[in-house]
Amino acid sequence: MNYKYLFLLTMGHLFTDLNQGALPALLPFMITEHGLNYAQAAGLIFAANFLSSVVQPIFGIMADKHARAWMMIVGIFLAGLGIGFSGYIPNYIILFCIISISGLGVAMFHPEGALLANKLAGSKKASGLSLFALGGNGGYALGPIIATIAILHFGFHATIILLILSLFMAILFIPHIPFFDKILKSPKETKTDWAKNTKNQISAFSILTGIVFCRSSIFFGLNTFIPLLWINYYHSSQTEGSIALAIFFLMGAIGTILGGNLADRLGYVNIVRFGFIVLLPSLLAFPFINNQALAMALLVPIGFAVYMAFSPMVVLGQKYLPNSMGLASGVTIGLAVSVGGIIAPLLGVLADSYGLISAFYVIAIIPLIAIPLSFCLPKD
């Protein structure tokens, strides 16, 4: 395992997803600044993910045919550009469009990044990809903290700090592009060992995609509505809402690393099943808790379980499509993940009509779909 360049990829992933993580924490400020309702606020989550969903498979196919490491640099920059300027745009339509650009940047980074992580990981695929995924989870965890602190101290225009951070990371990547291109284009690295003499398993990959859809819907539902729950249901401050979101993401970072290591030892499918089985009772209990401290404590197992199956699912996707690993990464990390961002506005409409807590009732039953699907996966 090449830890040096895996660490660089991880940091690139962190600085890219930092912007997606910041967006939910920005929603309460945008509601205050622009008078948005829940559906409009959740619509910005849709904006960050819809264009990304459309282009992720395309970028994945491009990565399979001719991977381009420079696309990671452009992706990091665009991810920060969209969110960085969001504090300067009062018009909702223009704001929607600029946040879509951020989603496009995220889509550009992931296929090449995941493909490189797979190759640099050597034989420990889940461990290597869990390290790569840790960067994204760390970005989601730090995004709300950085955005909230910056805005509370310097005002809503402080979103520009996120653009500065992304630009800094993009510049750090530039000297290493020749090495990344060499790895991507090396004939002996074109396929991993399991891809030799192996056909794509379309049926298994389709089942896996359904599971990732479920995980994505849960993730983006929680990601969008946790800070709003703390502010509007528990009547806490915006800072406390961001802290709750950060706890969810930090536990996710721990779950990512532990899940990847356990998957290399116990099997990828086993960890996917276990994650959803642990998640189900925690999510079912969450909407019925009226105590803020208990709700905060319950975010610990929820965050852990949501994330522990993530890197094993990415590895399974690459195993099921060994001859199209860029496409597999684009779907498992990109398209399937972004679907949850598209569902978020529907949950927003539900919250506007029947109360915020109703969105959490819907989120709680999604594992009932994912668990049976996980037992349909072929054993690894």
Digit-coded pLDDT (tens) for 166-181: 999 999 999 999 998 8
The number of CA neighbours under 13 Å toward the Cβ of 275 is 33
* pLDDT < 50: residue spans in the chain: 188-192, 194-195, 197
Q: What is the pLDDT of residue 114?
A: 79
d(CA 24, CA 221): 10
Q: What is the CA radius of gyration of the chain?
A: 19
Residue 376 is predicted with a pLDDT of 94
The pLDDT of residue 194 is 47
As a whole number of angstroms, the distance between CA 207 and CA 342 comes to 20
Cα–Cα dist 242/228, whole Å: 9
Structure-token pair, residue 234 = 């528990």
The Cα angle at residue 226 between residues 224 and 231, in degrees rounded to 5: 110
Q: How many Cα atoms within 13 Å fall on the side-chain side of residue 376? A: 14
Give the separation between CA 100 and CA 78, rounded to whole angstroms: 10
Query: If DSSP codes are grouped into helix, strand and coil, which group holds residue 137?
Result: helix
CA distance 353 to 233: 15
Q: 315 near 263, Cβ under 8 Å?
A: yes
Q: With contact defined as beta carbons under 8 Å apart, do 322 and 267 qualify? A: no
Burial of 182 (0-12, 13-18, 19+ CB in 10 A): exposed
* Contact assessment for residue 195 and residue 325, using Cβ atoms and an 8 Å cutoff: yes
335-375: per-residue pLDDT in tens? 655 677 778 788 888 988 898 999 999 999 999 999 999 99
CATH of 3-374, picked from 1.10.3720.10, 3.40.190.100, 1.20.1250.20, 3.30.2130.10, is: 1.20.1250.20
**Which residue is it, tokens 């999604």?**
366
Task: Parse the chain into domains and list their residue ranges.
Answer: 3-374
**pLDDT at residue 380, rounded to an integer:** 67
d(CA 146, CA 150): 6
What is the predicted pLDDT for the residue at 45? 83
Please calculate the CA angle 50-56-58 and round it to the nearest 5 degrees: 120
For residue 125, what are its two tokens?
Answer: 């695929």
Q: pTM, whole model, 2 decimals? A: 0.74
Return the pLDDT at 295: 93
The values of phi and psi at residue 271, to 5°, are -70, -35
Q: How many residues does the chain have?
A: 380
| Letter string b/e over residues 105-114, b meaning 16 or more CB atoms within 10 A of that residue's CB | bbbbbbbbbb
Q: Which residues contact 115 (CB under 8 A, 6 or more apart)?
A: 63, 67, 184, 325, 326, 329
pLDDT at 336: 59
Measured over the CA atoms of residue 343, residue 347, residue 352 and residue 354, the dihedral's sign is positive
